[in-house]
Amino acid sequence: MLDLRFIRANPELVAKAIRDKGEKADLGGLLSIDEEVRALLVESEALKRERNVESEKIAVLRKEGADASAEIARMRDVSGRIKEYDEKLAALRVDLTAAALTIPNVPHESVPVGADEDENVAVRSWGEPRSLVADPVPHWEIGETLGILDIKGASRIAGSGFVAFTGTGARLERALIAFMIDLHVNGHGYTEVSPPFVANRAAMEGTGQLPKLEFDMYHCSEDDLFLIPTGEVPLTNLHRDEILQGERLPVKYVAYTPCFRREAGSYGKDTRGLLRVHQFDKVEMVKLVEPETSYDELEALTSNAEAVLEALDLPYRVKVLCTGDLSFSAAKCYDIDIWSAGVKQWLEVSSCSNFEDFQARRAGLRYHPAGGGKARYVHTLNGSGVAMARTVVAILENYQTDRGTIVVPEALRPYMNGLEEIT
């Protein structure tokens, strides 16, 4: 959520952000409600002032044993009017908040303006798309053949869109998780967190999944809890409504979590095998930083994700998302795609975003600057480091041999009892 005062002061900038992001938001309506609220506030507060002053006088009169019934009668009337004002204000504020929640974050000036993903801009790439064999089979074939992937079995449990890893496949999954977390903890200075995998409404609003994505999430109605669609939710909300000491920044967390997504309405394309599933594992990085450093921290975060892919020797490309493809809450975002030789596609395995203070304002994430001074909102960032299912796809396809086996990337061998090949 943007600062109302910022919106008030920069309406044309916000209007441009809404246009560039292709969002629908009633900025004019918001501003007029805001004006109405402030006008009523002035009147209501003047009455409250009167009440406070008079109440004190009544207290004095009472103490002196004098009669205060005239004043009390008058204040009874004033209180009634205050109540009317406050009821009007409360109703308006509901509208105001609802309107404010439809205003997206403003893209950073370095973000290219564009309508959709076709106008994202390539930033860099690493490695050449290649594979050990000329024409590797898709992961769902070799996965079934080697007995490490059981899609049919998973559908018996939970329906289509779920997968089960078995035997060495499960071990590979676990190895990837452990490898990535170790890299970020030991190599990049993150603190590991093992958070809840469900979150309440306040948390979902704090990171901006609500109100927009309600129907993309699994929901436990009994307890009004949502299965997390990404580790970003628990990690960013860990310090919700807290004021951190400035010395603690930057806070850098990494966590393994499963991610649950209903993916309602996305059946058909790109859904075979592991490409788009309702539940996948992910290692997520989140940072809470001082505003002045957030764009440097974004570059560092992105390179932390890239380090995973380089260690696994998976060719990738990085692109900066244009305004039209940028998410509602983000000010800037890099996507990282890896090449998978079997399905012959670039697969998105990481999104690294700077939200500036957009999430922090909603989530109440502040800090006391080290040298003293007023509490300020932190800037929040997050990025996958990286998403598992598609990384497994690339490994199963890029590392296929002509013997129908899969070479284990060297970086993973220590996590798989030294296993060199899945046969």
Our finding on whether 248 is near RNA (CB under 7 A) is no
Pick the binder of RNA from 24, 42, 65, 118 (CB under 7 A). 42
Catalytic position from the list 131, 171, 205, 276: 276
Pick the binder of RNA from 27, 72, 137, 419 (CB under 7 A). 72
- Bridge-based pairing of strands 191-193 and 251-260 is parallel
Element (H, E) at 120: none
Our finding on whether 403 is near RNA (CB under 7 A) is no
For helices 27-63 and 11-21, angle between their N-to-C axes, nearest 10 degrees? 130
Q: Which stretch binds RNA (CB under 7 A): 169-177, 237-245, 251-259, 332-340?
A: 237-245
User: Closer to RNA at the Cβ: 158 or 370?
Assistant: 370
User: Closer to RNA at the Cβ: 219 or 368?
Assistant: 368
Instruction: Decide if 276 is catalytic.
Output: yes
Our finding on whether 296 is near RNA (CB under 7 A) is no
Site size toward RNA (CB under 7 A) is 34
Q: Which stretch binds RNA (CB under 7 A): 52-60, 103-111, 129-137, 191-199?
A: 52-60
Q: What mask of x and - would describe binding to RNA in positions 371 to 400, judged by CB under 7 A? A: xx-xx-------------------------
3-state secondary structure labels for all residues of 273-308:
CCCCCCEEEEEEEEEEECHHHHHHHHHHHHHHHHHH
Burial status of residue 240 (CB atoms within 10 A of its CB: 0-12, 13-18, 19 or more): middle
Pick the binder of RNA from 13, 19, 32, 45 (CB under 7 A). 45
Our finding on whether 70 is near RNA (CB under 7 A) is no
Catalytic position from the list 297, 362, 390, 397: 390
Q: Could you identify the residue written with the tokens 């590797």?
A: 136
Instruction: Decide if 261 is catalytic.
Output: yes
Pick the binder of RNA from 19, 28, 32, 38 (CB under 7 A). 38
Instruction: Decide if 297 is catalytic.
Output: no
Distances (CA, A) of 212 to 21, 148, 150, 188, 208: 15, 37, 33, 33, 8
Pick the binder of RNA from 10, 11, 23, 48 (CB under 7 A). 48
Question: What end-to-end distance do the CA atoms of the chain give, in Å?
Answer: 51
Pick the binder of RNA from 12, 24, 64, 76 (CB under 7 A). 76
Nearest distance in Å: CB 39, RNA: 8
Spatial strand order in the sheet of 225-227: 198-200, 225-227, 219-220
Nearest distance in Å: CB 51, RNA: 6
Q: What is the distance between the alpha carbons of residues 152 and 157, in angstroms, rounded to a whole number?
A: 9
State CA 251 to chain mean position distance.
16
Residues paired with residue 347 on neighbouring β-strands, in sequence order: 338
Q: Which stretch binds RNA (CB under 7 A): 39-47, 140-148, 151-159, 267-275?
A: 39-47
Catalytic position from the list 171, 232, 261, 350: 261
Q: What are phi and psi of 231, to 5 degrees?
A: -65, -15
User: Closer to RNA at the Cβ: 106 or 283?
Assistant: 106
Residue 88: HSE in the Cβ half-sphere, 13 Å Cα cutoff: 15
Our finding on whether 52 is near RNA (CB under 7 A) is yes
Q: Which residues have CB under 8 Å from 41's CB, separation 6+?
A: 89
Q: Could you identify the residue written with the tokens 């909300």?
A: 237
Q: Which stretch binds RNA (CB under 7 A): 48-56, 151-159, 191-199, 292-300?
A: 48-56
User: Closer to RNA at the Cβ: 70 or 264?
Assistant: 70
User: Closer to RNA at the Cβ: 204 or 352?
Assistant: 204
Instruction: Decide if 351 is catalytic.
Output: yes
Distances (CA, A) of 269 to 95, 137, 179, 266: 39, 18, 31, 7
Q: Which stretch binds RNA (CB under 7 A): 119-127, 171-179, 260-268, 368-376?
A: 368-376
Helix (H, G, I), strand (E, B) or coil at 349: strand
Catalytic position from the list 71, 303, 348, 376: 348
Query: What token pair was written down for 418?
Result: 């030294």
User: Closer to RNA at the Cβ: 61 or 407?
Assistant: 61
Q: What are phi and psi of 96, to 5 degrees?
A: -60, -45
User: Closer to RNA at the Cβ: 212 or 219?
Assistant: 219
Our finding on whether 97 is near RNA (CB under 7 A) is no
Spatial strand order in the sheet of 191-193: 121-126, 316-320, 332-340, 345-356, 379-387, 279-289, 251-260, 191-193
Phi-psi region for residue 124, left (φ > 0), alpha (ψ -120 to 50) or beta?
A: beta
Residues that bind RNA (CB under 7 A): 3-5, 38, 41-42, 45-46, 48-49, 51-56, 58-59, 62, 72, 75-76, 78-79, 90, 242-243, 245, 366, 368, 371-372, 374-375
Catalytic residues: 261, 276, 348, 351, 390
